Amino acid sequence: MKFFIDTANLDQIKEAQNLGILDGVTTNPSLMAKEGITGKNNILKHYVDICNIVDGDVSAEVIATDFEGMIREGEELAGLHEQIVVKVPMIKEGIKAIKYFSDNGIRTNCTLIFSPGQALIAAKAGATYVSPFIGRLDDVSTDGLNLIAEIRLIYDNYGFETEILAASVRHTMHIIDCAKLGADVMTGPLSSIEGLLKHPLTDIGLAKFLEDYKKGN
Range 42-79 burial, b when 16+ CB lie within 10 A, else e: ebbebbeebbeebebbbbbbbebeeeeebbebbeebbe
Q: Does 167 bind ligand G3P (CB under 6 A)?
A: yes
Q: Between residues 107 and 170, which has the closer beta carbon with respect to ligand G3P?
A: 170
**One-character DSSP codes across 135-189:** HHHHHTTS-HHHHHHHHHHHHHHHT---EEEEBS--SHHHHHHHHHHT-SEEEE-
Least distance to ligand G3P, CB of residue 134, Å: 9
Considering the rule CB under 6 A, would residue 29 count as an interface residue with ligand G3P?
Answer: no
Closest approach of ligand G3P to the CB of residue 178, in Å: 12
Among residues 31 and 64, whose Cβ is nearest to ligand G3P? 31
H helices, E strands: number in the chain: 11, 8
Confirm or reject binding of residue 135 to ligand G3P (CB under 6 A): yes
Contacting range for ligand G3P; rule: CB under 6 A; set: 11-19, 39-47, 89-97, 129-137: 129-137
What minimum distance in Å lies between the beta carbon of 111 and ligand G3P? 7
CB 84 within 8 A of CB 56: no
Catalytic residue status for 40: no
The catalytic position among 2, 87, 208, 215 is 87
Q: Please answer whether residues 122 and 101 qualify as being in contact, where contact means their C-beta atoms are separated by less than 8 angstroms.
A: no
Is-contact 60 86, C-beta < 8 A?
A: yes
187 binds ligand G3P (CB under 6 A): yes
Residues with catalytic function:
87
> Interface with ligand G3P by CB under 6 A: which residues?
6, 26, 28, 31, 133, 135-136, 167-168, 170, 187
